[in-house]
């Protein structure tokens, strides 16, 4: 009954690769090891103890931190350390087709792994019996929101004055059109062969989040992992700048 | 080897020094490296490196004086919000001794009190008391919240900053170590104090602050400007105090 | 939402000041805080706006979908307004299904837009009784610093004025949607909302967070461009007098004229 003449899908998929001077460029014109546009700001919200805003490509993500604060749910309380809770949420208007408000299985999983990605960096033992709450709001999604969320969350944690071993940075790599590439775009994520998001503590190189789906040979995996690590390092520099800019340094 | 300069802004995980350096407050040691755990200002004293945080929550310490708000009345005790991850309790005995009386006759929910932290036990139960000069319930006035790490800045060297504010505005000002500030005076003066305190909070990490605050006060209050020479000295001495 | 206890002395000082015709942040009783409004901030949404009144901040997104009209109104399009008081927006906001405050905010905003006839809903019909455009308006409250109502109405209006839908044609039995040809949704009216708080017997415009916490009563008034009333909501458990309500409308009429200046020209 309904015919879609020029669908949103078609609109986004007419992205054949360009071949320029021998090297194969990606659909959006980036080199294989090139990141999308990146912008990070710290201290963007009034009420939260710490906050940040991150744009990676067309992703727009807000993060807020409250805490350490009193924990009212006794069964969650840990006598010797704080707990870190995370809620990753997508705005209904953040995606092409409106998303129903509230958590779904995907956002619950991402919330869990985000908390686990941040956990090792935070000196939780300094605040026994309390909670540190991290809220991530995806205002616009364009592939790689979980990484953008983690990146934003660590800046918000730092902004809240929470002591940490490092600021966790996150970036994905993967394979698209037969090529291993850094920081997958939405199209590369959907149409590509593999996606490998990671989070790490750049100072030590410790990896705190690792997910993968798709298909990679072990050589490709290694290459993708190295690209993702390189991406995290680039992001890490921007995170530091964001904090320093806030205080006019 | 020192990798940063004194007073520089650093971020969590940033390597401050390698080799023979000691890790002070706001830092941690990773094998032979001293790293920052916070967003803050570096303070290097001899071989000891500290980071003074720009933002923090109040963690109660025995002996501190704090400003708290009564949030609940429970069996033989009041519960207080002390702007901290840990709420405080004021036992009825602290107020009535052995006498049995109705708690809400003395203090009710929403009352604001100036108290001393009597004890913090291993389960982070914060016991508060009212024994001491100036402690008790506030009547009138307004409250200002600042980040607790900036309290020393607001007070200044031997109270230089806070006394200047009090003198110029003729307001009573009480500063809790938990970052809550009580001010009472003429309503327009209370607002002047609020503005000044917020400025101190925002610019606590910059130098020459006492000077600027003095100018700001004089400008608002419309009096002639005059600077004193010892302000600069106070600035430097103040930092020493912070690090200790 | 956990209701936080407001210190008695704060209540006193806010009331005392207002009775002297002053406010803690130095505003006049009928003065709004700084307002900022940007539209088209979310590319993925067909219409969007980010509004700030003081430090209160709302991101509004509008998304059209084709659906069936309600059986009792077969010849008009559908508008659905939803709001989320995000736990990031205030320490006492909790995650979970919308609470009373959130539902009230969405419903009052919806009334202002619907009864204020922002959208010509009849023009959203594709096949009468069968296919219409449904506009989902989502209010994402990211920072709460008092007076959500006015920010929500302002942001919603701006987002709707920014909204484009694909053009449709009917060929035989089929609806052909052309995403290459996006057209603005038909805007008829531009109502706005003005909220006044009753504190210490006085009416103050655009209550701040502190004022929102201590107010006795609140009245939000939706007004069309000509000053006629299209929606109202009283809040708070203290009553209002007839005179107060009439006075509130007068103030709101003046204030919405000012608010209107922040709307970008369509």
User: For the segment C67-125, what is each residue's pLDDT rounded down to a tens digit?
Assistant: 999 999 999 999 999 999 999 999 999 999 999 999 999 999 999 999 999 999 999 99
Q: Does residue A5 sit within a domain?
A: no
Given a cut of 90, whether residue C152 has pLDDT beyond it is yes
Q: Name chain A's partners: 3 or more CB pairs within 8 A.
A: B, C
Contacts of C144 in chain A (CB under 8 A): 47
CB atoms within 10 A of CB A28: 15
Cα angle vertex A101, ends A38, A211, to 5°? 50
> What is the residue whose two structure tokens read 């490092």?
A166
Looking at chain B from residue 9 to 68, which residues have their Cβ under 8 Å from any Cβ of chain C? Answer: none
In this predicted structure, what is the pLDDT of residue B96? 84
A123 is a domain residue: yes
How far apart are alpha carbons B168 and B181 in whole angstroms?
A: 17
Angle between helices B187-202 and B209-221 (to 10 degrees): 160
Q: Is the pLDDT of residue B242 over 60?
A: no
ipTM: 0.94
- pLDDT of C1 higher than 70: no
In this prediction, residue C22 carries a pLDDT of: 93
Task: Report pLDDT for A248.
Answer: 75
Interface-testing mutation among B143, B191, B198, with chain C (most C C-beta atoms within 10 A): B191
- Name the superfamily (CATH) of residues B65-137: Nucleic acid-binding proteins (2.40.50.140)
**Residue B230: pLDDT over 60:** no
Would you say residue A23 lies in a domain? no
- pLDDT at res. B34: 97
Q: What is the mean pLDDT of chain B?
A: 89
For A156-183, what is the mean pLDDT? 97
- Binned at pLDDT 50, 70 and 90, residue B225 comes out as very low
pLDDT at A11: 47
Indicate the DSSP class of residue B149: G
Over 70: is that where the pLDDT of A249 sits? no
Is the per-residue pLDDT at A7 higher than 60?
Answer: no
Whether C2 and chain B come into contact, CB under 8 Å, resolves to no
Cβ atoms < 10 Å from Cβ of A110: 25
Considering only CB atoms, B37 lies closest to which of A165, A201, A247, namely A165
Q: Give the B:C interface size as CB pairs under 8 Å.
A: 40
Asked whether the beta carbons of C42 and B146 are under 8 A apart, the reply is: no
The verdict on a CB contact (< 8 Å) between A11 and C179 is yes
C-alpha to C-alpha distance for B196 and B156, rounded to whole angstroms: 14
Provide the pLDDT for residue B99. Answer: 76
Helix ranges (H only) for B130-208 are 151-155, 160-169, 187-202
Region class of C206: left (phi > 0), else alpha (psi between -120 and 50), else beta: left
Residue A160 has pLDDT above 70, yes or no: yes
Q: What are the pLDDT digits (tens) for B65-95?
A: 999 999 999 988 999 999 999 999 999 988 8
Q: Which of C63, C87, C143 sits opposite A93 (nearest CB)?
A: C63
pLDDT (0 to 100) of residue C2: 59
Report the pLDDT value the prediction gives residue C4, as an integer from 0 to 100.
74
Would you state the pLDDT for residue A77? 94
Model confidence at B164: pLDDT above 80: yes
Quick check: C144 and A92 CB within 8 A? no
Domain ranges of chain B: 9-53, 65-137, 142-243
C-alpha distances in Å from residue B92, one per residue of B64, B76, B107, B131: 20, 5, 10, 13
The predicted-structure confidence for A16-61, as pLDDT tens digits, reads as follows: 445 444 467 899 999 999 999 999 999 999 999 999 999 999 999 9
Predicted pLDDT at B207: 81
CATH number of B142-243, picked from 3.40.50.1820, 3.30.1370.10, 3.40.50.720, 3.60.9.10: 3.30.1370.10
pLDDT at position B234: 54
Element (H, E) at A81: none
Q: Can you tell me the mean pLDDT for A2-13?
A: 56
Which segments within C7-75 are labelled E, that is strand? 35-39, 47-53, 56-67
Contact residues, chain C, for A133 at CB < 8 Å: 87
Whole-model pTM: value is 0.93
Q: Does B3 touch chain C (CB under 8 A)?
A: no
Tokens of A86: 């995370």
Q: Which fold has domain B9-53?
A: OB fold (Dihydrolipoamide Acetyltransferase, E2P) (2.40.50)
Is it the case that residue A168 has pLDDT exceeding 90? yes
Using alpha carbons, select from B54, B55, B4, B53 the residue that is nearest to residue B33.
B4
Asked whether the beta carbons of A136 and A50 are under 8 A apart, the reply is: no
Q: How far is B78 from chain A (nearest CA, A)?
A: 17
Q: Do A66 and C91 touch (CB under 8 A)?
A: yes
Query: How many C-beta atoms lie closer than 10 Å to residue B86's C-beta?
Result: 21
Look at residue C243 in the predicted model and tell me its pLDDT: 97
| Closest to C94 (Cα-Cα) out of B180, A73, B146 | A73
> Could you tell me the end-to-end alpha-carbon distance of chain A, in angstroms, rounded to an integer?
60
Mean pLDDT of C193-207: 97
How many domains is chain A built from? 1
Instruction: Let me know how long chain C is.
Output: 266
Q: Domain containing A181: what range?
A: 34-246
In this prediction, residue C266 carries a pLDDT of 54
Query: What three-state secondary structure class fits C199?
Result: strand
Quote the pLDDT of residue C5: 83
Residue B21: pLDDT over 90:
yes
- Please, what are the domains in chain C? 8-260 (3.30.230.70)
User: Which residues of chain A does B55 touch, with a Cβ-Cβ cutoff of 8 Å?
Assistant: 49-50, 159-161
Give the pLDDT of residue A20: 47
* Distance to chain C for A140, nearest Cα, Å: 6
Is A131 a residue whose pLDDT tops 70?
Answer: yes
Question: With contacts defined as CB-CB under 8 Å, which chain C residues touch B109?
Answer: 5
pLDDT exceeds 90 at position B144: yes
- Asked whether the beta carbons of residue C13 and residue B141 sit closer than 8 angstroms, the reply is yes
User: Are B9-53 and B65-137 the same fold in CATH?
Assistant: yes
- The tokens of C104 are what? 């009230």
Q: What is the CATH number of the domain that holds A129?
A: 3.30.230.70
Give pLDDT tens digits for C154-176. Answer: 999 999 999 999 999 988 888 89
- Do β-strands B77-81 and C229-235 pair in parallel, antiparallel, or remain unpaired? unpaired
Terminal C-alpha separation, chain C: 37
Q: What is the pLDDT of residue A14?
A: 42
């Amino acid at each position: 009954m309904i015919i879609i003449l020029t669908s949103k899908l078609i609109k986004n998929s007419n992205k054949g690769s360009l071949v320029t001077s021998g090297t194969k460029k990606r659909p959006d014109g980036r080199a294989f090891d090139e990141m999308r546009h990146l912008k990070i700001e710290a201290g963007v919200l009034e009420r939260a103890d710490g906050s940040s805003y991150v744009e990676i490509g067309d992703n727009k993500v807000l993060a807020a931190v409250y805490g350490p604060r009193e924990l009212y749910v006794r069964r969650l309380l840990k006598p010797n350390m704080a707990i870190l809770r995370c809620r990753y949420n997508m705005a209904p208007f953040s995606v092409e087709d409106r998303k129903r408000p509230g958590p779904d299985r995907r956002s619950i999983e991402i919330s869990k792994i985000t908390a686990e990605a941040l956990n090792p960096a935070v000196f939780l033992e300094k605040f026994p019996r309390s909670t540190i709450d991290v809220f991530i709001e995806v205002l616009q999604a364009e592939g790689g929101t979980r990484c953008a969320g983690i990146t934003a969350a660590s800046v918000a944690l730092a902004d809240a004055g929470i002591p940490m071993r490092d600021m966790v940075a996150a970036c994905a790599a993967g394979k698209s059109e037969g090529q291993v590439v850094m920081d997958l775009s939405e199209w590369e994520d959907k149409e590509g062969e593999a996606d490998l998001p990671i989070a790490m503590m750049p100072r030590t190189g410790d990896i705190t989040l690792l997910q993968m789906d798709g298909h990679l040979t072990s050589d490709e995996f290694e290459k993708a992992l190295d690209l993702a690590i390189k991406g995290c390092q680039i992001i890490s520099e921007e995170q530091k700048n964001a904090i320093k800019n806030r205080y006019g340094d | 080897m020192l990798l940063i300069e004194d007073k520089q802004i650093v971020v969590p995980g940033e390597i401050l020094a390698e080799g023979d350096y000691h890790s002070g407050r706001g830092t941690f040691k990773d094998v032979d490296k001293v790293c920052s755990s916070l967003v803050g200002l570096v303070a290097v004293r001899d071989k000891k490196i500290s980071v003074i945080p720009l933002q923090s929550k109040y963690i109660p310490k025995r002996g501190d004086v704090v400003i708290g708000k009564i949030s609940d009345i429970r069996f033989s005790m009041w519960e207080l919000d002390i702007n901290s991850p840990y709420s405080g309790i004021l036992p009825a005995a602290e107020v009535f001794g052995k006498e049995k009386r109705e708690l809400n006759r003395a203090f009710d929910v929403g009352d604001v009190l100036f108290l001393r932290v009597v004890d913090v036990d291993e389960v982070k139960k914060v016991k508060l008391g009212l024994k001491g000069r100036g402690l008790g319930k506030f009547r009138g006035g307004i409250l200002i919240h600042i980040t607790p790490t900036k309290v020393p800045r607001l007070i200044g060297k031997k109270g230089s900053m806070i006394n200047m504010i009090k003198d110029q505005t003729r307001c009573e000002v009480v500063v809790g170590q938990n970052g809550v500030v009580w001010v009472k005076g003429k309503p327009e003066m209370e607002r002047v104090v609020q503005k000044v305190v917020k400025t101190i909070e925002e610019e606590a990490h910059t130098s020459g602050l006492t000077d600027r605050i003095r100018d700001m006060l004089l400008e608002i209050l419309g009096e002639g400007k005059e600077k004193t020479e010892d302000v600069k000295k106070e600035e430097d001495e103040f930092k020493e105090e912070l690090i200790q | 939402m956990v209701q936080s206890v407001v210190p008695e002395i704060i209540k006193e000082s806010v009331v005392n000041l207002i009775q002297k015709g002053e406010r803690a942040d130095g505003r006049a009783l009928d003065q709004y805080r700084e307002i900022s409004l940007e539209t088209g901030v979310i590319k993925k949404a067909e219409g969007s706006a980010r509004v700030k009144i003081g430090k209160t901040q709302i991101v509004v997104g509008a998304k059209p979908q084709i659906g069936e009209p309600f059986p009792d109104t077969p010849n008009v399009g559908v508008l659905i307004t939803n709001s989320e008081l995000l736990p990031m927006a205030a320490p006492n906001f909790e995650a979970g299904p919308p609470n009373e405050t959130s539902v009230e905010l969405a419903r009052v905003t919806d009334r202002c837009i619907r009864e204020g006839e922002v959208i010509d809903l009849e023009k959203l019909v594709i096949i009468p009784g069968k296919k219409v455009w449904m506009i989902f308006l989502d209010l994402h409250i990211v920072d709460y610093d008092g007076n959500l109502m006015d920010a929500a109405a302002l942001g919603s209006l701006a987002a709707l004025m920014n909204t484009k839908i694909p053009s449709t044609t009917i060929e035989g039995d089929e609806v052909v949607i052309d995403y290459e040809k996006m057209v603005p949704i038909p805007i008829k009216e531009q109502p706005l909302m003005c909220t006044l708080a009753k504190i210490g017997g006085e009416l103050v415009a655009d209550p701040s967070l502190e004022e929102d916490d201590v107010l006795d009563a609140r009245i939000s008034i939706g007004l069309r461009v000509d000053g006629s009333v299209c929606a109202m909501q009283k809040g708070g458990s203290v009553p209002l007098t007839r005179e107060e309500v009439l006075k509130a409308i007068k103030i709101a009429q003046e204030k919405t004229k000012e608010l209107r200046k922040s709307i970008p020209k369509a």
